[in-house]
Amino acid sequence: MASDRETARAQWLEQVKVMRRNERRLSKVFPSIYAAAIDRWEATGAVAVPIDAQRDLGAVMVRMWREAIAIGSAFPVAQEKSAFARLEVKAEAETLFEQIMREFINRFGGWKITQIIETTRDQILRAIERGVADGQSIDAIAKAMRETVPALSRTRAHIIARTEVHTAAMHASEEVAKTAIAPMNKRWISVFDHRTRDFGEGDGVMDEFNHRVMNEVTVGPDELFSVPSKGGVFELMTGPGDPNGSAANVINCRCALVYRRVGRPWPKSGE
């Protein structure tokens, strides 16, 4: 049987495939979103992302979440197959998948897309304010903004794809785990390198939250993880990538969840 770290690594590799596909898709959508918003500002003086551009973004996001939920749904099943015998029936598995997808979109989809649009709008507003402060003309400001669009689009596509695929996949794994015939404990598995969120242990930089210390923290089926912050308080999370988690806890997170039936022993630390 694979170790917890091997399981976490396999989960991550599955997510990376989905991340890369959707990063490419988002990289094609964002330039048109920025262009449409800049055109609107030049024409009307209002900073807004047109509805059709928002609709294009929404279509890509929903497709990405669907792909992420599909792989995340398989994570707990791969670890405790006998606990999910009913999901071997294709119709049962498809029904559960659609239920998780619907619930995710209804609870989180709208405000996530709104956040992305608002961030886009804020970036344009800041660029305009800088241009005005420098005494630039409208044409000069618009030209400068358009020159930044390719690099900005690539950066945002990368961050959003990595964050949203991870969030949706982890959420789906938890929802599937709840349907097991026996209660499942869950364990947080952290990545150990210089990019891991910590209080300076890895790279000397104090991050807002510490995921390094969360490695192998285990909770019961209905319990939450307490993630420490540099301010001394804790943020309660269902797991890595919790859709309700703060941005400082979820953006670019690479941690994983692994599962064991309640009462089944966990491997020794580090295995």
Per-residue pLDDT tens digits for 58-70 = 999 999 999 999 9
Instruction: Give domain status of residue 267, yes or no.
Output: no
Instruction: Give domain status of residue 268, yes or no.
Output: no
Answer yes or no: is pLDDT of 173 > 80.
yes
CA distance 43 to 213: 52
Instruction: Give domain status of residue 54, yes or no.
Output: yes
Residue 211's domain spans which residues? 4-261
Answer yes or no: is pLDDT of 271 > 70.
no
Residue 101 contacts residue 66 (beta carbons within 8 Å):
yes
- State mean pLDDT over 165-187: 96
Residue 221 contacts residue 232 (beta carbons within 8 Å):
no
pTM for the whole structure: 0.94
Distance from the Cα of residue 212 to its chain's centroid: 18
Instruction: Give domain status of residue 173, yes or no.
Output: yes
- State mean pLDDT over 217-241: 96
What is the predicted pLDDT for the residue at 153?
Answer: 97
- Domains of the chain: total: 1
Answer yes or no: is pLDDT of 270 > 80.
no
DSSP 8-state symbol, 82: G
Mind listing the pLDDT tens digit for each residue in 80-133?
999 998 898 899 999 999 999 999 999 999 999 999 999 999 999 999 999 999
Instruction: Give domain status of residue 266, yes or no.
Output: no
